[in-house]
Chains A and B, each alone.
Chain A
Amino acid sequence: MSSRDRILQNLQVPNSLKKESSQPFQDSSIYSDYPEKTKEELIEAFRAHFLALNGEFFHVRSKEEAAERVAELLHSVEGNRYLVDSNPLCRDIFSSVPELEKQFDDITKTSLEAMEFAEYSIGLTSADFLVARTGSIVLRSSIAAGRRLSVLPPLHIVVATVEQIVPSLDAALQNSEFRNGEWSYGTIITGPSRTSDIEKILVLGAHGPKRLALILLDA
């Protein structure tokens, strides 16, 4: 008998617990900010949480304005190697300022070893969802062009639209479109990388990005 079968057999026990089918957890009034809010309130809730987590928040009206914010962020870091995923929204923003696009390396056209990857100072990605309740950004490897782009560079810039804001985590996690597809990795990002392992003192940028910036575009 294999270990697998032995473990499973050891778990087959006559106990008093009955098998009950239950429903997946659904958002409910156990959360203080339930029920859902208007779109404006969701944007405001997201903004407040995101700022409280030391995120850098930019609400922009147009793609040109988004490109301006990206350009400003480029000047705020040391180093001059920037990497971007190939999302259409990112493309649109870049195409409004062609010089901007030239500064970024396209991950789909660049073969990168881990070592070389570490030299990039900015990673720019899109996102799947923004969660209003927690100020979180949800993204999958298929959207963020892999796993490393959003975690190795010291500054992670996310470009998203207001349509992507959902009230709570379960709206994202129950979305079937989100769950389908060929992706192997997803992450819920809530603020820049942080640690409090030394005497409970908060330090940003433990291993992941020190800075997290969100450019939120009105659609």
Chain B
Amino acid sequence: MNNYSHFLKEAKTMAANETHRLKIKKAITSYETQVAAMKKQQFSDWREARDVATGIKNEVLENLPDLLQQFEEKLTSRGAKVLWAENAEQARNYIGEIIARHNARKVVKSKSMTTEEIELNEYLEKLGIENWESDLGELIVQLAGEKPYHIVTPAMHKSKSEIASLFVEKLGIEYTENAEELTMAARAHLRKAFVTADIGITGANFIIADEGAIVMTENEGNGRLGMACPKVHIAIAGIEKMLPRLADLSLFLPLLSTSGTGQQLTGYNSFVRGPQSATEPDGPEEMIVILLDNGRSGIYRQEKFQHVLRCIRCGACLNACPVFRTVGGHTYATTYQGPIGSIITPQLRGMGEWQHLAHACSLCGACTEVCPVGIDLHHLLLETRWQAEQEDAASKKWHFAIQMWSKVITKRKMVDALRPLLKLFIPVVKPFMSANQQKRLPEMAKKSFAQMWEKNEFSR
């Protein structure tokens, strides 16, 4: 089945799945209440905060090559290593080499969409490496053999009872629907993984040019443990995660927390600027940052799409999107779901295979409204459709049909002449269309508007 038919099939099933809809509604309603309250509490003017952030991210795009080199220079001066990966395979191979060099058997991971993008879990499994997702939501989907449902809330689609059954089966605990007990079971289970893992792998929410640091945002402390216990720390970051200065975090951390989870600040925001230094009692002996391109420079070179690289992956556009809420995260079958995913996936993974995502959009603009870095998401979805049309040879027939249609529809006489024909035609196709489309065609009016107008049948 190709991606398009997969999407259609799943969308149809999920749209009719009432249990799913209730779970998502509950989660997103709680999110929206918290976000609205936090925006009001924290910012005197949310829009202005967004504009300032947008300006800083534009500055990043203007200077990205310089900033990347500045970042590399600073970070390597403190003994860390920077590796540049052009694509997913190269990134995986770098990690494979590090694992081999250290003869590592066990890896503990913190939540990172970039590692999902390069399909690191599948790769580590093939290598026979024991690999633990340590974020609670990620652990839940890993144990269930699924992919994350949402870039910020990976297990949004799982109810307490589903998680309870999963933990009974996989972690051998007593059945409980108490969220605290379930969390404590995961904590106890992963403690051992943290203190025995050879390598900790994390993502990065930001990389800072002037400080030569990576920044990790989290609530649970699993990221901190993964950067504190194992003797090797690998961080993988998309090249667009850049901020020019450490001080910029005093805007971007509250902005990300507010849009991501409705918190003023997430529990832990850590910055790492190298491996253990000579004066410190602990920390990894080796720190490697992998800078991932994997199609991002292709987006960068397109002026119309470049500003989508401002994205800080807060997930706000997913939560706001009526299509996402209806069809659910797994229907997209992509690393990045919702509006942002529907724009970048065709760019990163091929227009032909993924352009249908840009059509799963009503152009309502709710995503653009909530974006904290002012990405014009719904117009970019429209732009994606246009680009797909330009590139797609199969759409020539469609173009021809549209041209013919516009010739007819723009001429009054042609419309009038064709009307009797249309009246004959519709009853014939109607039964077929109703059966296939789950929609009923409206009844044809006896007289057209034009006819009624001519005979002056409207009351004044």
| Chain A contact residues, CB within 8 Å of chain B | 2-4, 6-8, 10-13, 15-20, 22, 24-32, 34, 49, 107-108, 112, 114-115, 117-118, 133-134, 136, 141-142, 145-148, 151-152, 168-170, 173-174, 179, 182-201, 203, 205-209
Q: Is A187 touching B271 in the complex (CB atoms < 8 A)?
A: yes
In the complex formed, the residue of B with least CB distance to A184 is: B274
Given known contacts A152-B225, A207-B225, A185 and B270 CB-to-CB distance under 8 angstroms: yes
Which listed residue, B65, B224, B261, B269, touches A196 by the CB 8 Å rule?
Answer: B261
Query: A85: nearest residue on chain B (CB-CB)?
Result: B281
Task: Give Cα distance in the complex from A14 to B396, angstroms.
Answer: 31
| B265 within 8 Å of A (CB atoms) | yes
Q: Does B253 contact A (CB under 8 A)?
A: yes
Are A190's CB and B264's CB within 8 A? yes
**Can you report 13 residue pairs joining A to B where beta carbons are below 8 Å apart?**
A2-B84, A3-B85, A7-B239, A30-B48, A141-B277, A146-B280, A184-B276, A185-B283, A197-B135, A201-B160, A201-B180, A207-B221, A207-B225
Min distance, Cβ A130 to any Cβ of chain B, angstroms: 13
- Which residues of A have CB within 8 Å of B280? 141-142, 145-147, 182-185
User: Does B303 touch A at the CB level, under 8 Å?
Assistant: yes
Would you give the shortest CB distance from A105 to chain B, in whole angstroms?
12
Shortest CB distance B286–A (Å): 12
Closest Cβ of chain A to B97, distance in Å, is 14
Please pick, from B55, B63, B154, B195, the residue contacting A114 in the complex, using a CB distance under 8 A: B195
Judge whether A206 and B221 touch: CB under 8 Å: yes
Known contacts being A15-B303, A115-B196, A118-B195, is A179 close to B182, with CB within 8 Å? no
Shortest B42–chain A CB gap in Å is 6
Q: A7-B297, A30-B49, A197-B135 are in contact. Are A25 and B85 (CB under 8 A)?
A: no
CA distance A111 to B313 in the complex (A): 40
In the bound complex, residues from chain A placing their C-beta under 8 Å from that of B244 are 24
Residues on A with beta carbons closer than 8 Å to the beta carbon of B191 = 118, 207
Q: In the complex, A1 Cα to B247 Cα: how many Å? A: 35
Q: Is B254 at the interface (CB under 8 A from chain A)?
A: yes
How many whole Å from A39's CB to the nearest CB in chain B? 21
Q: Given the known inter-chain contacts A17-B62, A22-B56, A203-B183, please indicate yes or no for A169 contacting B253, CB distance below 8 A.
A: yes
CB contact under 8 A between A25 and B273, given known A147-B227, A147-B283 = no
> In the complex, A145 Cα to B423 Cα: how many Å?
83
Stretch touching chain A among B24-32, B354-362, B407-415, B448-456:
B24-32
Q: A13-B301, A146-B282 are in contact. Are A182 and B225 (CB under 8 A)?
A: no
A182 and B249 alpha carbons, distance in the complex (Å) = 21
Chain B residues, CB < 8 A from A34: 44
Choose among B52, B186, B247, B254 the residue that contacts A174 (Cβ–Cβ < 8 A).
B247
Which residues of chain B come closer than 8 Å to A189, judged between CB atoms? 267-268
Complex CA–CA separation, A136 to B189 (angstroms): 29
Q: When A and B form their complex, which 6 residue pairs have the shortest distance between CB atoms, in order from nearest?
A: A208-B221, A206-B220, A170-B250, A147-B228, A10-B297, A169-B250
Q: Which of A6, A20, A133 is in CB contact (< 8 Å) with B86?
A: A6
Q: How large is the interface on B (under 10, 10 to 19, 20 to 34, 35 or more residues)?
A: 35 or more
Q: Measured between alpha carbons, how far is A4 from B220 in the docked complex, in Å?
A: 34
B219 interfacial by beta-carbon distance below 8 Å: yes
**Inside 8 A of A16's CB, which chain B residues have their CB?**
303
For window 250-293 of chain B, which residues contact chain A by CB distance below 8 Å? 250-251, 253-254, 261, 263-283, 287, 291, 293
Contacting pair B84 A13 (CB below 8 A): no
A198 → chain B closest CB, angstroms:
4
B134 contacts the other chain (CB 8 A): yes
CB distance from A106 to the nearest CB of B (A): 10
Q: What's the Cα separation between A36 and B195 when bound, in Å?
A: 43
User: A168 — which chain B residues lie within 8 A by C-beta?
Assistant: 250
List residues of chain A with CB within 8 A of the CB of B159: 199
B59 contacts partner chain A, Cβ-Cβ < 8 Å: yes
Known: A151-B228, A199-B26, A200-B26. A10 touches B273 (CB 8 A): no
Query: In the complex, what residues of A have CB within 8 A of residue B276's CB?
Result: 184
B246 contacts across to A, CB distance below 8 A: 173-174, 179
Residues in A neighbouring B399, C-beta threshold 8 A: none
Q: Which of A11, A107, A151, A199 contacts B27 (CB 8 A)?
A: A199
Query: Contact: A30 with B220, CB < 8 Å?
Result: no
Asked if residues B163 and A198 are in contact (CB atoms below 8 Å), the reply is yes
Contacts A7-B297, A182-B279 known; A193 to B271 CB distance under 8 Å? no
B41 within 8 A of A: yes
- Report which of A24, A185, A186 forms a contact with B247, defined as CB distance below 8 A: A24
Contact of B249 among A4, A146, A169, A184 (CB under 8 A): A169
CA distance A76 to B219 in the complex (A): 24
**Smallest CB separation, B56 vs chain A (Å):** 7
B195 in contact with A117 (CB, 8 Å): yes
The answer to whether B253 and A114 touch across the interface, beta carbons within 8 angstroms, is no
- Are the C-beta atoms of B44 and A29 separated by less than 8 Å? yes
Whether the Cβ atoms of B269 and A187 lie closer than 8 Å is yes
Q: Does B45 contact A (CB under 8 A)?
A: yes
